[in-house]
């Protein structure tokens, strides 16, 4: 069963990587001015390598980790069980070629999450991601969302402070969201 879950996760990762790489060629105003297609592909490769290394590490065992990369700067976020998982994750990211820095934005899990709560959190995460993608002011694949017990953690790189504030408002407007943690950074 664990192998099936990991295989499914790796397949999902591969599909997501292809989606990211294919989106690198679309022109969009501010993004085209701040990064080249080559930079986007390099960042996608770095992100993919880190995700693969995290998924195969026996001490991590978590799909609640989000990896976002911008110009070699890696942001790790999500919910983890303990400080050891944070330390291992940061070490793995730092060991990947092309990584210039690692920003630890992890949140430690509190208590036990039931299967029902996990399903509810997954539904909330999906709704938040859809709301962010459909919002005309945001429309960003660079914002990740992870939910734990109704608490949504937003992370990733955005263009400006207005997008940070608006993203938080959009997430807060989704049914089931109890609170929003902001771990977003402005692109440099």
CA distance 73 to 35: 13
What number is the average pLDDT over the span 10-34? Answer: 43
Helix (H, G, I), strand (E, B) or coil at 56: helix
pTM: 0.61
Q: Domains (ranges, CATH) in the chain? A: 2-108 (3.30.1340.30), 115-186 (3.30.1340.30)
pLDDT tens digits for range 150-164: 999 999 888 889 999
148 pLDDT higher than 60: yes
Question: Kind of pairing, strands 101-108 and 73-80?
Answer: parallel
**Torsion of Cα atoms, 108 then 20 then 48 then 39, to 10°:** -110
């Amino acid at each position: 069963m664990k192998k099936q879950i990991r295989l499914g996760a790796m397949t999902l990762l591969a599909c997501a990587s292809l989606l990211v790489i294919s989106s690198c060629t679309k022109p969009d105003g501010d993004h085209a001015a701040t990064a080249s297609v080559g930079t986007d592909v390099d960042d996608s490769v770095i992100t993919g390598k880190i995700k693969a290394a995290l998924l195969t590490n026996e001490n991590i065992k978590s799909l609640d980790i989000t990896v976002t990369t911008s110009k070699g700067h890696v942001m790790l976020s999500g919910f983890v069980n303990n400080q050891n998982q944070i330390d291992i994750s940061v070490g793995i990211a730092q060991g990947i070629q092309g990584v210039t820095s690692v920003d630890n934005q992890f949140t430690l899990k509190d208590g036990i999450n039931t299967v029902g709560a996990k399903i509810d959190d997954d539904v909330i995460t999906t709704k938040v991601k859809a709301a962010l993608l459909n919002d005309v002011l945001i429309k960003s694949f660079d914002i990740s969302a992870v939910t734990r017990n109704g608490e949504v953690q937003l992370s990733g790189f955005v263009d400006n402070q207005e997008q940070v504030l608006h993203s938080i408002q959009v997430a807060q407007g989704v049914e089931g969201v109890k609170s929003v943690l902001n771990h977003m950074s402005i692109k440099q």
